[in-house]
Amino acid sequence: MGTNDYQKGPRHGASQSGSTGRRSSGASRPHREPLQDNYYYEAPPRGWKEGDAFQDISSYSSPAKRRADQKAMEEQRRSTQRSGGRRPQKSSSQDIYSNSRPVKKGRPKRWGVGKTIVALVLVLVIAVGGSVAYMLSGLTMTSIPKSDSALGIQAGAMSDSQITNIALFGLDSREDGSTGRSDVVMVLSVDRRHHALKLTSILRDSEVSIEGYGYDKITHAYAYGGPELAIKTLNQNFNLDIRNYVTVNFYQMAEIVDAFGGVDIQLTAEEVYSLNENLWNLSQESPGSVVSSDFIPNVNGEIDLINGPYQDGEYHLNGNQAVAYARIRHLDSDNVRASRQQTVLQALLTSLKKKNIFQLPGLVRKVFSVCETSLNVGDMLGMSPIVFGGLNLETLSIPGEEEQAYGATLDSGAWVYEYDLTAASQHINRFIYEEESPYYTGAE
C-alpha cells in the first residue's frame, strides 16, 4: 500500500495541511505567445468563442504601421456614416487596442455551457437540500461524547478512515418513555474501502463486563446507561471503534417494514406456527397493536393457533408479522434468532434496491421518523452512496463456532452465553477490516 488512510489505535483529529497557491496581485496582462519570426498573436478578446478568428497583429511591424491602419479604419467608419449606415465589409485588421466593443442587437442572450452546468448543479443542490430537510424532519438526533475515554475505545483498537462502525440497537420498550433493554445488538460497518455493508450480530445473552455493573448480559447495558454505556460496552469487550448509534423500538420496527410495503421471507411450517404464537403474545402485551388479519391462516385457510397445520413456503410479511418472525426464539436458539433478524434486514435492503428515486424521500422520512441517532447530516450524506448502492449485506453472528460458547448461570440466576471475548474480538476485526487486520488469514 502507499499512503495509509487507516490507523491502529485511537483516531486523531489532526489534519494534514499543504501549501495553498496564491494569485499574484496587480492587473492581469494579455498573454502573448512568441512566434518563430518574433511576431505575436494577441490574446483573444472577451466574448471570443471557439472557431472565431484569432487576432493576428503580425502586420504591425512598427508603431507607424499600426497608426496608419487605425487611421484607415477610422476613415472607413466615417464613410459608412455618410452613406446612411450601411455596414462596410469586414476589414482584415481590427483595432484590438480599443476598449470599445460593438453592441449586439436583436439576438437573445444565450447561456454558455459552463453557466448552464453551474445553474443545474445549483438547482440540484437546492433540491437535494430540500429533500434532506424533508427526510430528516422526523428524525430524533442526539449528541453523545465522542472521545476515546467516554466511549471506551482502547489504544489498540483498529480504525480506518474508509470504514465507519455504527451500533444498532433494537429496543424492547413496553411503554413509551422507558429505556428498555437492547433486545437486538448489532454493529453496522459501512465499508467504503471494500464497497460493502457488513452487519455483525452479537447475541443479547452474551456475558460481558458492563462498567459499573460487573458481568451481565450485553442486552442490559442499554437499560443501565442508555446508548453511551451500550457503545462503551461494545468497544471495551470487543476492542472496537464505534462512535455513533441508531436505535429503533421493536414496535416501531413494524412501522418501518410496513413503510417498505412488507418483506418476502421463506418460512418453515414450524416458523409460521411460532410467528402466530408471537403475534398472540404481542397482542396481550400491547392491546390493539395486532389485528386478526395479521395471523397467517393454516393450510385450510383458517386462523387456528392450536391445530394448524401450516406449510413451508415464501410468505409476504407485514410489519407485525416480520417482528413476530424476528422474535422467534424457543423454536431453536438465539443463534438462529439472530439470523432471522438479519434475514429481515436483508429483505428490507432488497426491497430498498427496487424503489425508484421518487419513492426514496418519503420512505426514508418514514424510517427516520421512528429512529434515534447520534449521526449528523454530514455523516449520513457521506454514507448514502454506498448505502443506496447495488450492494449485498454481509453478515456475521457472534458467538460462532470458533468462540466455543457454552451456557452458564449468573449469581442472579440469569442464563448467559459465556465465550472467549478475545477470540470474538479478533473474529469481528477480521470480518470488518479484512486484509488490513493483523488477524486476517485470508477470505473469511
CATH of the domain at 211: 3.40.630.190
The H-or-E segment that residue 132 falls in is: helix 113-136
Rounded Cα gap, residues 69 and 237, in angstroms: 88
Q: Which amino acid is at 16?
A: Q
Q: What is the pLDDT of residues 109-134, one digit of tens each?
A: 443 433 333 343 333 333 445 567 77
Rounded Cα gap, residues 25 and 338, in angstroms: 65
Q: Are residues 82 and 216 in the same domain?
A: no
Q: What are phi and psi of 219, to 5 degrees?
A: -65, -20
Q: Are residues 95 and 173 in the same domain?
A: no
Q: Are residues 217 and 363 in the same domain?
A: yes
Q: Are residues 218 and 147 in the same domain?
A: yes
Q: Are residues 78 and 213 in the same domain?
A: no
What does the pLDDT read at residue 422?
95
Is the pLDDT reported for residue 187 higher than 80?
Answer: yes
Instruction: Give the β-pairing of 196-202 and 393-398.
Output: parallel
Residue finishing a domain among 91, 109, 127:
109
User: What's the N-to-C CA distance of the chain in angstroms?
Assistant: 21
What does the pLDDT read at residue 387?
59
Number of Cβ within 10 Å of residue 286's Cβ equals 13
On whether residue 358 sits in a domain, the answer given is yes
Q: How many helices (H) and strands (E) does the chain have?
A: 10, 17
What does the pLDDT read at residue 177?
52
Do 275 and 334 touch, CB atoms closer than 8 A? no
What does the pLDDT read at residue 93?
43
Q: Are residues 63 and 170 in the same domain?
A: no
Q: Are residues 323 and 373 in the same domain?
A: yes
Task: State the DSSP string of 27-48.
Answer: ------EEPTTS-EEPPPPTT-
Q: What is the mean pLDDT of the chain?
A: 74
What does the pLDDT read at residue 377?
80
pLDDT, greater one: 144 or 388: 144
Is the pLDDT reported for residue 213 higher than 70?
Answer: yes
What does the pLDDT read at residue 26?
40
Tell me what percent of the residues of the chain surpass a pLDDT of 70.
64
**Number of domains, the chain:** 2
Q: Are residues 312 and 226 in the same domain?
A: yes
Is the pLDDT reported for residue 173 higher than 50?
Answer: yes
Is the pLDDT reported for residue 248 higher than 90?
Answer: no
pLDDT band for position 423 (50/70/90)?
Answer: very high
Q: What is the pLDDT of residues 356-371, one digit of tens each?
A: 777 777 887 887 777 8
Is the pLDDT reported for residue 272 higher than 70?
Answer: yes
Which of 428, 380, 443, 442 is CA-nearest to residue 158?
Answer: 428
Rounded to 5°, the CA angle 236-239-242 comes to 80
On whether residue 95 sits in a domain, the answer given is yes
On whether residue 326 sits in a domain, the answer given is yes
C-alpha cell at position 61:
511591424
Which of 391, 382, 386 is CA-nearest to residue 132?
Answer: 382
On whether residue 129 sits in a domain, the answer given is no
What does the pLDDT read at residue 31?
42
pLDDT band for position 444 (50/70/90)?
Answer: low
Q: Are residues 281 and 430 in the same domain?
A: yes
pLDDT, greater one: 119 or 46: 46
Domain extent, residue 297, equals 140-436
Rounded Cα gap, residues 121 and 107, in angstroms: 27
Q: What is the mean pLDDT of residues 167-173?
A: 80
Q: Are residues 86 and 185 in the same domain?
A: no
On whether residue 33 sits in a domain, the answer given is no
pLDDT, greater one: 335 or 183: 183
pLDDT, greater one: 17 or 365: 365
**In sequence order, which ranges of 239-333 are alpha helices (DSSP H)?**
250-259, 269-285, 319-326
Q: What is the mean pLDDT of residues 267-285?
A: 92
Q: Are residues 285 and 229 in the same domain?
A: yes
Is the pLDDT reported for residue 164 higher than 70?
Answer: yes
Is the pLDDT reported for residue 208 higher than 90?
Answer: yes
pLDDT, greater one: 79 or 140: 140
Q: Are residues 354 and 232 in the same domain?
A: yes
What does the pLDDT read at residue 399?
94
Q: What is the DSSP letter of 12?
A: P
Q: How far is CA 47 from CA 43, 57, 99, 102, 104, in A?
A: 12, 19, 13, 11, 12
Which of 334, 325, 332, 330 is CA-nearest to residue 206?
Answer: 334
Q: What is the mean pLDDT of residues 212-235?
A: 95
Q: What is the mean pLDDT of residues 216-238?
A: 96
On whether residue 331 sits in a domain, the answer given is yes
pLDDT band for position 333 (50/70/90)?
Answer: low
Is the pLDDT reported for residue 338 higher than 90?
Answer: no
Tell me what percent of the residues of the chain surpass a pLDDT of 90.
33
On whether residue 9 sits in a domain, the answer given is no
